[in-house]
Amino acid sequence: MILKGVLHVHSTYSYDGKESLASLREFLMSKGISFCCLTEHTDFMTTEQAQLFVQECKMQSGSQFVFIPGFEVPYKNAHILLIGTESFISQKADAETLKAWSLRSELTILAHPVRNSFLLDSTMEEVLDGIEIWNQQYEGKRVPRPRSVRLFEDLRKKNQALMATAGLDFHRKEHFGAPCYSIETDMLTKEAILSALTEGRYTFGTKRVEVAPSGLWKGKGSISHILQSALSVLLIFSGKRVNALLAFFGLKLPSGLKRLIRSRV
């Protein structure tokens, strides 16, 4: 069977998440989603909070929907997604703890590489299983970012096992959209889902753009791809600047307008 899922999702266990696991489960199921890989921020998390998070993931999972626990850990100027781990090691990572995190995780992924200027060190190259070439909060809902794709291609020349990945970077309901995942599996269980993801038995994207773990899709590198990406990035960048300017004067965009914009971009 084909299951739909999402990666890089935050709940109220993250300091900036807006949805509880129960609310998130109900919302995602209403959108036809069967599994969700959570990546909670570790910045202010305690070991006790992490344990509660993992326990609630199990409680909120069942025969119709599965939560897969994971964390988003700051490492130097980068953020690393650790998917499928039930262990909490540290709020931030250095080279030694990043390796320890990776050993306890099913997937270790570089999130939104634009945020760390597309720069990796030897430790990151050693532990990474994937590169997030498409992050909705930085690339929008249409296509992967060409620069992130080039980074992935350069790294894959040295590591053929490296996989292209994508994430919603979901913090609130208006962040839902593309890119979503499709996997083929016989069972809706944490183990079966993680097996499909780690073995590269998935695609992600939209109805128009379906990306393989190899980073290939129809239209890659075309003028249309480049223009769509540039437009999305420009709109997101401009929106953040407008929000910052309004905040400076103590103003806000109407919530309805903000939701409409985020649902489209």
Residues 6+ apart with CB under 8 A from 132: 8, 81, 109, 110, 111, 112, 113, 148, 165, 166, 167
Tell me the C-alpha distance between 26 and 182, whole Å: 19
Report pLDDT for 75.
98
- The more confidently predicted of residues 245 and 152 is 152
The full DSSP string for 49-74 is HHHHHHHHHHHT--SS-EEE-EEEEE
- Residue 209 sits at φ, ψ, to 5 deg, of -125, 110
Q: Are 143 and 209 in contact (CB under 8 A)?
A: yes
Q: Give strand pairing partners of 181.
A: 5, 204
CA 149 → CA 68, 69, 180, distances in Å?
26, 27, 18
Model confidence at 212, pLDDT cuts 50, 70, 90, reads: very high
Model confidence at 66, pLDDT cuts 50, 70, 90, reads: very high
Q: Which of 69-73, 139-143, 256-260 bottoms out in mean pLDDT, i.e. has the lowest? A: 256-260
Phi/psi-derived region of residue 17, left when phi > 0, alpha when psi is between -120 and 50, beta in every other case: beta
Res. 217: pLDDT tops 80: yes
**Cα 205 to the chain's mean position, in Å?**
12
Q: Are 230 and 237 in contact (CB under 8 A)?
A: no
Strand duo 2-9 + 35-38: pairing? parallel
- The more confidently predicted of residues 249 and 169 is 169
Res. 73: pLDDT tops 80: yes
Report pLDDT for 246.
66
pTM over 0.75? The answer is yes
Q: Are 64 and 34 in contact (CB under 8 A)?
A: yes
User: Per residue in 221-251, pLDDT tens?
Assistant: 899 999 989 999 888 878 777 777 766 767 6
User: Per residue in 75-120, pLDDT tens?
Assistant: 999 999 999 999 999 999 999 999 999 999 999 999 999 999 999 9
**What is the arithmetic mean of pLDDT over 183-189?**
94
Model confidence at 263, pLDDT cuts 50, 70, 90, reads: low
The fold for domain 2-219 equals TIM Barrel (3.20.20)
Res. 256: pLDDT tops 80: no
Report pLDDT for 174.
87
Res. 2: pLDDT tops 90: yes
Asked, as a colleague might, if the bond just before 144 is cis with ω within 30 of 0, I would say no
User: Which residue do the tokens 């109900």 mark?
Assistant: 26
CA 23 → CA 11, 159, 187, distances in Å?
9, 39, 24
In SS3 terms, 119-159 reads as: CCCHHHHHHCCEEEEEEHHHHCCCCCCHHHHHHHHHHHCCC
